[in-house]
A and B are shown apart, each in its own frame.
Chain A
Amino acid sequence: MGIIKTEKLSYEYIRRDDEGNVSGVTRAVDDVSIDVTQGEFIAILGHNGSGKSTLAKHINAILTPSEGEIWVDGINTAEAARIWDVRQKAGMVFQNPDNQIIGQLVEEDVGFGPENLGVPTDQIWERVEESLKLLGMLEYSKHSPNKLSGGQKQRVSIAGVLAMHPKCIIFDEPTAMLDPHGRREVVRAARALNDVEKITIVLITHYMEETIYADRLFVMDHGRIAMEGTPKEIFSQVEKLEELRLGVPQATKVAYELKKAGMPIPDGILTRQELREALKACL
């Protein structure tokens, strides 16, 4: 069993009217079975309302399945008594950094997680230092988080999760509010944690460019897994992605249009370097 495993997981949001009677049911996640290996970097794509975030919230037990099951590092998240174990193993970084920062100083904010886990004080400070160092934020440890840029705030949020020593970090659209530089900082941090610390990464995003280094992509639609494969396999299917209200990276789009016009360009080009090499071969 991998670090995250779901078995026919479904989740229903139930709407009620003023009297508390059920007025509607939305099946946000529908019969999803996935198995993620420890150390993998996976990305989940899908249009708004496709069920990505609902699925992600199951991984650290914010939600528990209506039907089916999910195990995080072997623990069934439906076991209420072990909910804190699950949350220590799987940390979550959200979209808006301002909603998840609570400390007066950067180092206090990062220490909040391990403090809640009951880690002894001296070890908390060790963890804070080590996490901030990894995210390149150590020099800001005595700063107020309010004065940081968006990308820096988001790195502080990630350090806060990291200080809990998780095996897995889920990023739910961590770059939606950031400028290009901030976006690069956050994606680079996620890749480094995966490469160096072997932490399993689950990245949810609407920016196709951010997913090209993932080991595996999942595309969701109507709560189901509509596509699964390596970035190359997924982004070769431009038309299918557009049907699912998604796009492809710009380099892939250019390659696709050129190929359609008759140029001999290979499928699945993801970066501008790959495109340049492909063009050199035929120009």
Chain B
Amino acid sequence: MSMTLEHVNCIYSADTNHSVHALKDICLTIGDGEFIGLIGHTGCGKSTLVQHLNGLISPTDGHIYYNGEDINAKDFNRKELRGNVGLVFQYPEHQLFENDVFADVCFGPKNLGLDKKEVELRAYEALHSVGFPDEEFYSSPFELSGGQKRRVAIAGVLAMKPKILILDEPTAGLDPQGREDILELISDLHRNENMTIILVSHSMDDVADYAERLIVMDHGSILYDDVPQEVFKNVRELERMGLAVPEVTYIMRSLKRNGYEVDDTITKIDDAVEQILKLWSEK
């Protein structure tokens, strides 16, 4: 279930004098079951890129293959692709519209043309997998809290049983506990269902904690594509792009500068605590 991008270019308003070259010669392979963090400053092309992956935007130039098939070929079934590649937009709760939660989650699979029984089964499973309580299935989606609404919106995409799940800033505007809940949910889907995850985020701490591979975009190009530890070594470059490294990485770097023998590429709190304690016990 891999996705391959070959020399993909995207130019908005081409042939006018305010054309924007949003994606520049992107070559990328997304393997089965990966957990990818996609980061970059506002306007770097992240959102444009993910909209290419389920065929919402066609490349100006270049090809995108899903399991070896060109998704922009004339006879390719793009409806099926959109079931397989689920895209959760920013603030997905703004797209809730039905009278009750259950009907809202049914909307996606219904549009895939499945029969009623299958649609309801999928909606039920999806709501369960996001941990939504049964007794609230028939409440209005508009009366839920921010975190709950977002769960429902994600369930709506999960009900289409995607193989690849793309989430654009799924934690924006949530409180710290809500952020962790959503990220744990995504991580469970990845672990238990082997779902491929692409997490678009502005939070370096979040991607450091969860992603196995990090892709950094800048001005429409891919600048880094590596494991988080390697990517976060490029502190200066990341800051120049308006990004940062996780706060604990800054802490470890400053300790190292002060002459302590610590690994300054650490990106997780637990690892940092362990190292400092080791240092302390050896003193």
Contact = CB atoms under 8 A, between A and B. Distances in A.
B273 A182 contact: no
A283 B43 contact: no
B176 A206 contact: yes
Chain B contact residues, majority secondary structure? helix
B247 interface: yes
Interface string A170-182: 0001001111111
B204 interface: yes
Given A179-B202, A272-B251, A206 B269 contact: no
Which 3 pairs between the two chains have the least Cβ-Cβ distance?
Answer: A181-B242, A245-B177, A250-B247
Interface stretch (B55-63, B130-138, B254-262): B254-262
Contacts of A95: 173
Interface in B226-277: 239, 241-244, 246-248, 250-251, 254-255, 258, 260, 269-270, 272-273, 276-277
Nearest to B177: A245
Interface of A: 15, 46-49, 95, 149-151, 173, 176-183, 206, 208-209, 242, 245-247, 249-251, 253-254, 257-258, 261, 263, 272-273, 275-276, 279-280, 282-283
A150 B177 CA distance: 25
Contacts of B246: 250
Contacts of B205: 250
Contacts of B175: 46-48, 206, 245-246
7 contacts: A177-B172, A178-B202, A180-B243, A206-B176, A254-B272, A254-B276, A257-B273
B279 interface: yes
Interface in B140-156: 143, 145-147
A178 B42 contact: yes
A262 B283 CA distance: 14
Given A254-B276, A279-B260, 9 more contacts: A15-B143, A47-B176, A182-B242, A183-B202, A208-B176, A245-B176, A246-B177, A253-B269, A254-B273
A279 B272 CA distance: 13
B173 A276 contact: no
Contacts of A208: 176
A179 B41 contact: yes
* Interface magnitude class on chain B: 35 or more
Contacts of A177: 90, 169, 172-173
A206 B173 contact: yes
B176 A276 contact: no
B162 interface: no
Contacts of B250: 272
B33 interface: no
B280 A283 contact: yes
Nearest to A47: B175
Contacts of A209: 247
A180 B269 contact: no
A243 to B, nearest CB: 10
B174 interface: yes
A179 B169 CA distance: 11
Contacts of A151: 42
B145 A49 contact: yes
Nearest to B279: A283
B42 A149 contact: yes
